[in-house]
Amino acid sequence: MELEAWFDGEAPVDDPSDELSWHAANCAKCFRHLETLSNLRVAVRGSLGAATPADASVLDLATLRAEPAWHRWSRPIVAVAAALLVIAAVVGASQIHLHSRLASDRSAASGRTSSSKGSTGSGSATKSSATSATSGSATQSRGSSSSSGTASGSTGHTTVGPGSPTAGALTLAVIVPTVGTDAAEGTEVADAVRQAVAAANASGGVDGVPVQLTVVPAEDSAAIAALPGHVTAVVGGFGADPPASVPWLLPADPYASGANVVAAELSPAEAGARLGQELVQQGDTGTVGVVVGTGPDAALESGLAQEVPVSTVTAPSTGACLPALATLQAQGVDAVAVAGPPTLAASCVAALSTLLWAPAAGVLLAPSAAYDGVTSAGIVPGAALFTVLGLPWPGSSSPGAALFRSVVPGDSSYQALVSFAAVEMAVQVARSVGVLTLHGLAAGTWQNSLYNFAGADNVGAQVVEQSAGNWVSAA
């Protein structure tokens, strides 16, 4: 009753403390009652055609001055109280929502597996529910690519996880290492593949449908195992092999092989035969001294032996090449070949400098030596290094290398160029055949400024020579 009398202006107006006003301003229950009274007054005045407090435009200054002083002060007090109550309600609701969300996230996190090894940080961070809903089982990629399942504004395409491909789309995956000494190269490869996909989508994708890409950390065995049935093919990349049932186009790995692999490089035996043929074409028919090591590259010797006479010396188990080279130098061989891993090739190149020997027909290496960065730096003047590569070297003057540099500026990785070309081949086959299949690829001829394939056979592989850090055509 006191509150209603105060509201109706029946309370004393000369009370200097005006305690009821302050009480009403700070009492939610009282304020709700005052709000009810106010609404009733508005309704009554509205029905009588009188001006309402909500219609401030009809309350002129004279009317306000005619009101009792306590009534004039009650208006701002009630207004402030209303504002405070609204703020309190919003903050309270926000806190309730926040606590609810945190509880929900903690509950979801407890049932979620940790992120892949390729993720930054400790590996325990989880994606938000919105991202997970978009990308399905997408794996995280390294650096600026963030996580699979997020749109890439810089490349103009969407990276999606293997769990959520768009129906009818050409869905590609690239596997790259994201930790360890090869992580930097893996980043270059992933960036090159993204740019190739972006270029394909900028020109219409495949039948108007954007090409989709998944970047998979080579350390994430679970994500790699999940690729079958979710991607059309794996393109380029290195560090881990995809499941045998998934087509792998142009691996950036000289040792990759298998029934579903379209290799970028010739096998060591094929490379040896091609190097032998080059010697014959150049008129160098003398004996080639071969330092034979272990591993797949040992087959380089058998390929050479099909084309030219060879004299073999087994490299010591320590991998030191000097004793073997000294033996071959004494034999007077015209050329030296290293049929062994890149570490043996590097040892032999260094040993040539020690012996001050420049074989007349050069030093022949397996393709893996170029992949591993073996160069002619410090070698005896006049000693040339040769190998066979399936595609142009990024720093060479070939049109394909120039194209790669224009689309992926600053990327000097040969493995990145191979992976870039793999996307171009996948798109070319899909656009021509309608869908990317190994059967369709094997039935056609595929070429551009980067590659030349007759079906799955690389007929564009060339003998190249090391020159100032680049491998350039030896023709």
pLDDT tens digits along 262-321: 999 999 999 999 999 999 999 998 999 999 999 999 999 999 999 999 999 999 888 789
The domain ranges of the chain are 2-106, 139-265+397-458, 268-389
The answer to whether domain 139-265+397-458 has CATH 3.30.930.10 is no
Give the three-state DSSP class for 189: helix
Ranking 181-195, 287-301, 369-383, 396-410 by mean pLDDT, the lowest is: 369-383
Long-range contact list for 37-44, CB < 8 A, 24+ apart?
37/4, 37/7
Task: Determine the pLDDT at residue 23.
Answer: 62
Task: Kindly report, residue by residue over 198-222, the tens digit of the pLDDT.
Answer: 999 999 999 999 999 999 999 999 9
Task: Kindly report, residue by residue over 7-62, the tens digit of the pLDDT.
Answer: 666 555 445 445 665 565 556 676 566 666 665 554 544 544 444 444 333 333 33
Give the three-state DSSP class for 51: coil
- Does pLDDT of 442 surpass 60? yes
* Section 219-244 average pLDDT: 97
**What is the rounded CA–CA span in Å between residue 273 and residue 275?**
5
Task: Kindly report, residue by residue over 110-131, the tens digit of the pLDDT.
Answer: 333 333 333 333 333 333 333 3
Q: Do residues 225 and 209 make contact, with C-beta atoms less than 8 angstroms apart?
A: no
- Does pLDDT of 152 surpass 60? no
**What is the rounded CA–CA span in Å between residue 294 and residue 275?**
20
- Does pLDDT of 256 surpass 50? yes
Task: Determine the pLDDT at residue 389.
Answer: 98
Q: How many Cα atoms sit within 13 Å of 57 on the Cβ side?
A: 0
Task: Determine the pLDDT at residue 8.
Answer: 66
Higher-pLDDT residue of 394 and 106 is 394
Q: Do residues 266 and 278 make contact, with C-beta atoms less than 8 angstroms apart?
A: no
Position 468 confidence tier, pLDDT thresholds 50, 70, 90: confident
Task: Determine the pLDDT at residue 311.
Answer: 98
Helices (H), 393-469: 399-407, 414-433, 438-442
Cα–Cα distances (Å) from 11 to 23, 385, 399, in that order, read 14, 106, 95
* Section 251-260 average pLDDT: 96
**What is the rounded CA–CA span in Å between residue 242 and residue 73?**
78
Task: Determine the pLDDT at residue 320.
Answer: 87
Task: Determine the pLDDT at residue 104.
Answer: 39
Task: Determine the pLDDT at residue 317.
Answer: 82
Under 8 Å CB-to-CB from 383, ≥6 apart: which residues?
352, 357, 358, 359, 362, 363, 376
Same fold? 139-265+397-458, 268-389:
yes
Torsion of CA 427, 433, 437, 438, to 10 degrees: -100
Task: Determine the pLDDT at residue 316.
Answer: 87
Higher-pLDDT residue of 398 and 3 is 398
Task: Determine the pLDDT at residue 88.
Answer: 46
Task: Determine the pLDDT at residue 168.
Answer: 72
Task: Determine the pLDDT at residue 204.
Answer: 95
Q: Do residues 81 and 31 make contact, with C-beta atoms less than 8 angstroms apart?
A: yes
Higher-pLDDT residue of 168 and 61 is 168
Q: What is the CATH number of domain 268-389?
A: 3.40.50.2300
Task: Kindly report, residue by residue over 307-331, the tens digit of the pLDDT.
Answer: 999 999 999 888 789 999 999 999 9
Higher-pLDDT residue of 473 and 151 is 473
Task: Determine the pLDDT at residue 462.
Answer: 97
Position 95 confidence tier, pLDDT thresholds 50, 70, 90: very low
- Does pLDDT of 102 surpass 50? no
Task: Determine the pLDDT at residue 62.
Answer: 38
Task: Kindly report, residue by residue over 155-167, the tens digit of the pLDDT.
Answer: 333 344 444 456 5
Task: Determine the pLDDT at residue 106.
Answer: 35
Higher-pLDDT residue of 118 and 456 is 456
